Amino acid sequence: MGLNDIRDRIALAETAAGRASGSVQLIAVSKVQPNARVAEVLDQGHRLFGENKVQEAAAKWPDFRDRYEGVSVHLIGPLQSNKARQAMGLFEAIHSLDRPKLAQTLGRLAQEMGHCPDLFIQVNTGEEEQKAGVSPAGTDAFVADCRALDLPVRGLMCIPPVDEAPSLHFALLAKLAARNGLDGLSMGMSSDFEEAVSFGATHVRVGSAIFGERAHN
Ligand SMILES: *Cc1c(COP(=O)(O)O)cnc(C)c1O
């Protein structure tokens, strides 16, 4: 597999779902990949990437941004409040807004800095203890709180439990987004992005299917 195959498969999934072509954005998850591999994907013309750690993104992306026009990097992993300021300068979007304290910090920084990346609220659709995210039952209230802070909430994000059918989680996330008037749905990874597209994903996060297996996470 590789970038072009994944693009083709997304296009087919869009058509199969009766969705407009180009309605799904492919986030190439470049975490842990060697810079030479990331450069290959940039050289193929791809410009949207995902990273799960602030430090790793800070080490990798300023240099690539100097060398390539139009790069966009999204944070898809957990964000500590004390790294929020740095993250706001590094990413065009943050997919891991998952708790009130982080919302307050981002709201304060957004006022101070006069800008804020696009935000996706992470929902713990499987209600797993070890996983980040707001509960499905708490999502409506949290969206409202974020809006009251003037935060640019664009959508919802989920990472389904590994041992369950993802479709139930994609359907739930789509339902929660629709009833909150949110268009963005960040869902689907290497193993299930086509299914996510069929449930309305606007952003799929695909790593290993593009870059090959990671040595570690
Ligand atoms: C690593 C990661 C991905 C990509 O996973 P693959 O299975 O390699 O496609 C997607 N989303 C998040 C939040 C990740 O941490």
The DSSP code sequence of 169-206 is: HHHHHHHHHHHTT--EEE---TTTHHHHHHTT-SEEEE
| Test site for ligand 1: of 123, 189, 214, most ligand atoms within 8 A of the Cβ | 189
- C-alpha distances out from residue 55 to 66, 86, 103, 146, Å: 18, 9, 21, 26
Going by C-beta distance under 8 Å and a sequence separation of 6 or more, which residues neighbour residue 165? none
C-beta 77 within 6 A of ligand 1: yes
Closest-lying ligand 1 atom to the alpha carbon of residue 76? 13
d(CA 174, CA 186): 10
- Whether domain 3-211 has CATH 3.20.20.10: yes
Query: Residue 215 pLDDT more than 90?
Result: no
User: Rounded to the nearest whole angstrom, what is the distance from the C-alpha of residue 48 to the centroid of ligand 1?
Assistant: 14
- Bridge partners (DSSP) of residue 29 are 50
User: Rounded to the nearest whole angstrom, what is the distance from the C-alpha of residue 189 to the centroid of ligand 1?
Assistant: 6
C-beta 76 within 6 A of ligand 1: yes
C-beta 52 within 6 A of ligand 1: yes
The residues spanned by each domain of the chain are 3-211
Given a contact cutoff of 8 angstroms between Cβ atoms, the answer to whether 10 and 26 are in contact is yes
Average pLDDT value for residue range 114-131: 98
Q: How confident is the model over 126-182, as pLDDT tens digits?
A: 999 999 999 999 999 999 999 999 999 999 999 999 999 999 999 999 999 999 999
- Give this prediction's pTM: 0.97
| Test site for ligand 1: of 29, 75, 120, most ligand atoms within 8 A of the Cβ | 29
Closest-lying ligand 1 atom to the alpha carbon of residue 189? 9
Q: With cut-offs at 50, 70 and 90, classify the pLDDT of residue 214.
A: confident
Q: What is the mean pLDDT of the chain?
A: 97
Phi, psi (deg, nearest 5) at residue 31: -50, 135
Q: State what percent of residues in the chain have pLDDT above 90.
A: 97
Closest-lying ligand 1 atom to the alpha carbon of residue 208? 8
Query: Residue 216 pLDDT more than 70?
Result: no
| Test site for ligand 1: of 52, 54, 120, 157, most ligand atoms within 8 A of the Cβ | 52
d(CA 22, CA 55): 31
